Amino acid sequence: MIQQQRLPIQPPFSSPYSNLLVTEYFSILDLAPFTGLRLGATTLSFFTKDPSNIIRALSSSVPGSQKFLSFIFPRYGQALTLSLAVDCIVVKVQQMIMDVGSTFAHNIVLRQHTRVLECIQQDLNDRSQWMSSETLCAIQLLGLFDLINNASLQSWLCHVAGASRLIEQRGARNFKSDFDLAILTAQIGPIITEAILDNRHCFLTDESWKTVICESILSDEYFYNYRDIVTCLWTHLVWGPNHFKLATDMISAMEAPTPQEYTALIKDMISHNESLLCLTDLLQQRLAAADNRSEIVPGSKGSQVNPLEIEGTLIICRLMKLRLLFALDPARFSAMEAESQNLASQVMYFDEQLGQEKEGRIMGGLFMSQTTWIARATIETYDVWKTEVGSEGMIAKWKFEAWCCAMGRRINV
C-alpha cells in the first residue's frame, strides 16, 4: 500500500522519467533482459567478460519477464524510494549510453545511489514501510543497478540476500496482489542462487510458499504453454540448495552421518532425478507435438518462456543431483560422474552454438551464463573426481570443496 505523497522527482541528468520515455526512448521495461532469466542462476559472468554486453542487452528486443517492471511506471512519483531507485538506474544507463566517464558524471550516479540507500534504510526502520511492495521492489532495482554498474558478484549477492530475508520475513500470506506475485516470481531465481552459493537452506520449500509460487506461475502469461512443466521444475529448483547443504554438511562433518539421514537424502535425490527425467521427456514430447524446433532458438517467442530456458535448467538440476549422489557414494553411483560430465558438455555445447547465432546471441549469452558456471566447474574438477570412481564411503572433503570453490560456493557460513 502506497502511503507516501506524490512527489515531483527529477533525475539529475535530464527530464523526469515520464519525459525520458519520449525524449530518450528509454523505458524501465528495457531492463527486461536482466530480470527475465528467472529459471537459472546468475548472468554476471556474461557482463564481466565484456561490459559492452550491457549496452547491447539494453538495446535489444529480448524475451523475458517484464511483468514486475510494468507495475513501476504507475507508481513512479508516488512512492519516494521506488522512484529514487528508478532514477538511480536511469542516470547510470544515460551515463553508459552517452559514454560519459567524467568524475562529474560518476559523482552524480554515486550521489543518486547514496540517496536510494538512505531512503531504503529509512523504510526498513519504519514499521509501516518495511513490508511494502514498493520498498521490496526498490531493493530489487538496486540489485539491478549494481549489476549494470560494476557486475560485482559480492555486491549482487548482498542485495539478493537482503531481498530474500525481507521476503521471508514478510511471509507467504502477504504476497497476494499481482505486483507482489510478479516481484516474487522475478526473485525466485536469485533466492535459489544465493542459497546455493552461500550454503543455506531455501525457505521456499515450505508448503505455504509452494502455494504462492504456483499462483505466481498461473498469473503470468509468460509461461503460457509450459505452466505444468515450470511448476514442477520450480519444485525441484527450490530443493536444490537444501540437497546441496545437506550433502555438504555430511561430507564436511568430522563424524559420519546417521544411516537414517544418509539414506533419506540419497533416496530423496534419486526421486527428484527420476521426476526431472520425466519432465525432460514431457518437454521433448511437447516440442515434438508442436513440430517446431525453432522455438528453442532464443528470441522466437518474445512474450512466452523460451523452451531453452526450461531445457537448460532441467539439465543443470539433473547435473547437480547426479554429482551430489556420486559424492555421497562413489562406489554405488560410479556411472553418475560420467553422466554428469555428459550433461555439463551439453551445456557448454549449447553455449558454443548460441554464440554463433547472430539473432540469438544476446539472449543465448545471457541464458547460458546462468548455467555454464556450474557446468564449467564440473568439467574443471573431472580429473580430480574421476579417481574416486568405485571408492568406498563419501568423496574426499578436499575434492568436494574443489568443486564448490570452482563455482564460487562457500562451504562454511
DSSP string, 140-190: HHHHHHHHHHH--HHHHHHHHHHHHHHHHHH-GGG--SHHHHHHHHHHHHH
Residues 185 and 315 in one domain: no
What percentage of residues in the chain have a pLDDT greater than 90? Answer: 29
Average pLDDT over all residues of the chain = 77
Q: Of 219, 237, 268, at which residue does a domain stop?
A: 219
Among 234, 403, 405, CA closest to 327: 403
pLDDT band at 40 (very low <50, low <70, confident <90, very high): very low
Cα 260 to chain centroid, rounded: 33
389-399 pLDDT per residue, tens: 888 899 999 99
Residues 168 and 242 in one domain: no
Q: Report CA dihedral (24, 29, 34, 38) to the nearest 10 degrees.
A: 180
Determine the structural domain holding residue 344 and report its residue range: 228-413
pLDDT score of 387: 92
pLDDT score of 12: 43
Rounded CA-CA distance 255/279 in Å is: 37
Residues 148 and 263 in one domain: no
Q: Write out the H or E segment, with its range, that includes residue 77.
A: none
Q: Of 164, 186, 219, at which residue does a domain stop?
A: 219
- Minimum mean pLDDT among 41-55, 65-79, 82-96, 285-299: which range? 41-55
Cβ atoms of residues 188 and 140 within 8 Å: no
Per-residue pLDDT for 119 more than 80? yes
Residues 73 and 174 in one domain: yes
DSSP 5-18: PP-----SSSS-HH
Cβ atoms of residues 236 and 317 within 8 Å: yes
Residues 57 and 158 in one domain: yes
Residues 175 and 287 in one domain: no
Q: Of 219, 245, 275, at which residue does a domain stop?
A: 219
pLDDT score of 379: 95
Per-residue pLDDT for 207 more than 80? yes
312-352 pLDDT per residue, tens: 788 888 999 999 999 999 999 999 999 999 999 988 887 66
222-268 pLDDT per residue, tens: 777 788 898 898 888 899 999 999 999 999 998 989 999 999 999 99
pLDDT score of 15: 41
pLDDT band at 155 (very low <50, low <70, confident <90, very high): confident
